[in-house]
Structure 1
Amino acid sequence: MRIQELLLAQDGVLHRDQALRCGLSRQAIRRRVARGEWADAQPGVLRDTTHPVTAAARVRAASLWAGEAGLVSGPAAAFWLGMLAEAPEHVEITVAVSARRTTPAGVRLRRRSVPVQDRMRERGVLVTAPALTVLETCGRVPDGAAFLDRALQGRWAVPHQLHAAYCRNAGAHGMGAAHRLLVAALDRADSKLERLLIRLLRDAGLTGFVRGLPAGAGREIDIAFPAERVAIELDGWAWHTDPERFTADRAKGNALVAAGWTLLRFTWRDVTEHPARTVAAIRRALGR
């Protein structure tokens, strides 16, 4: 690839090694720098002074400096993937714990191992994959809850991907805040799941159910048919990400069964992808 084509493809920046591979000698590179045609963007990275210094150029320059050993992460990755309109002042680069690098200006270095499933290449830049990017960013932007809601609505990452990424990276810096926001956001998704099932029940002509029926010890049944003693519990996304909720719901289910209730459990997939099968199972339980 020619030098100008490479600069156009890379937001006006390139690594010195790329210039050498394009056929320029070290002397030719020095002459361009001396004439003011090129300037240092990061150690080993040059920018064409005729190109504007954009946020994309800053991120790409940091990525070129890090090379294959580092990846853009946090809010900088969110910007690169189109989740944020603006890039942060400092581009975060995640490298291995054992890496020994001096952090240049405009870069924030983070040392930790990132699972291979949470890495990707986007437009030539190594970045954290969408799910991990969402988790790392939501705890560090001013309104993390709103950012996470936009991520879920914009399908940058669906709940099960966020849950899986959280499990792979639990214990990493910032994951505690991400977990709290994730559970809160997915609780709202769980409420939507209840509304969807209630709509299915009404469309099927099933009546006599109660939402949030008290079940003692501060517990509630998600959807209950008191006359038939049929309890429906919905295992939504938040149920999978909150260990305390998981334990409490199991205890509630055991208590209901011990008290003579028929307990049915349904997931988001049951309700949204297999509605007829879900309604049929409820009918059978009511018939019994």
Structure 2
Amino acid sequence: MGVPNEIRRVLLRQAGVISRAQALAGGLTPRQLDRLLADGSWVRVHPAVYRLHAVVPTVEADVRSAALWLGGSAVLTGLGAAWWWGCLPEAPSRWTFSRSTAGCPPRSTRVAVDRAFVDRRVALELDGHAYHSGPDAHRADVRRANDVMAAGWTVRRFTWSDLLTDPDGFIATVRDVLAI
């Protein structure tokens, strides 16, 4: 199946990743997109974000796919942004994005979470040992979760091990809490 030139340009510009919206805007039909996924030409890396199967995953592709997943208002911040602009020699182990605050909790309760589904008021936290061990980190995590829940959000917490050892269970839980 031929892929329109506009889609080829997007894939080249974005390290081999593309969002569903971009693919459809570039001329693919939903059926053609489904065929590319079914035959393995494209691989789903996030909901509605895909990578060419023939492209080796890179840090750039990971960052771009995360930004596409988060939506147009997502901006890479912190050490990740410093690395992106060549100010740091090595990519950080954790990426931070900022988004538009429309629909977010009031400023007094706005806190950072690993992934927020603003329209559904659902926050996901991935707790790895490196960043979440010790009494101070635990106390900060509990306070943050309480602040987000007090603002009317649902919070689901996972360990990094949950994600690595049971990715299907993780995805099923996320789909369940988002009712998708």
TM-score by length of 1: 0.34
Where does structure 1 differ by over 4 angstroms across 4 or more consecutive aligned residues? none
**Higher RCO structure, 1 or 2 (CA under 8 Å, sep 6+):** 2
1:50-199 → structure 2 map (5 Å cutoff):
50-97=54-101, 98-99=103-104, 108-109=114-115
1:58 shift after superposition: 0.7
1:24 shift after superposition: 0.3
Residue 6 (structure 1) aligned with residue 10 (structure 2): yes
Identity among equivalent pairs (%)? 36
Who is 1:199 aligned against? Answer: none
Q: Point out the structure with the larger helix share.
A: 1
Q: Alpha-carbon deviations, 1:154-205, whole Å to 9, x = none?
A: xxxxxxxxxxxxxxxxxxxxxxxxxxxxxxxxxxxxxxxxxxxxxxxxxxxx
Check the 8 A contact 1:55/1:86 in 2, yes or no.
no
Check the 8 A contact 1:73/1:94 in 2, yes or no.
yes
Q: Which runs of 5+ in 2 are unaligned?
A: 106-112, 117-180
Check the 8 A contact 1:14/1:45 in 2, yes or no.
yes
Relative to structure 1, the CA distance from residue 88 to residue 33 in structure 2 (aligned partners, 3 Å threshold; closer, same or farther) is: same
Residue 37 (structure 1) aligned with residue 41 (structure 2): yes
What SS does the aligned partner of 2:10 have?
Answer: helix
Separation in 1 of the partners of 2:99 and 2:85? 19
Separation in 2 of the partners of 1:11 and 1:99? 31
2:27 partner amino acid? G
Separation in 1 of the partners of 2:23 and 2:45? 14
What SS does the aligned partner of 1:68 have?
Answer: coil
- Larger Rg belongs to: 1
Relative to structure 1, the CA distance from residue 109 to residue 88 in structure 2 (aligned partners, 3 Å threshold; closer, same or farther) is: farther
Separation in 1 of the partners of 2:115 and 2:76? 10
Check the 8 A contact 1:37/1:49 in 2, yes or no.
yes
Separation in 2 of the partners of 1:23 and 1:68? 20
Q: Which runs of 5+ in 1 are unaligned?
A: 101-106, 111-288
Separation in 1 of the partners of 2:96 and 2:89? 16
Separation in 1 of the partners of 2:50 and 2:104? 23
Separation in 2 of the partners of 1:47 and 1:77? 22
| Coordinate RMSD, CA, aligned | 2.4
1:7 partner amino acid? L
1:174-253 → structure 2 map (5 Å cutoff):
none
1:109 shift after superposition: 4.1
What SS does the aligned partner of 2:23 have?
Answer: helix
Separation in 2 of the partners of 1:36 and 1:93? 30
1:87 shift after superposition: 2.1
Check the 8 A contact 1:93/1:109 in 2, yes or no.
no
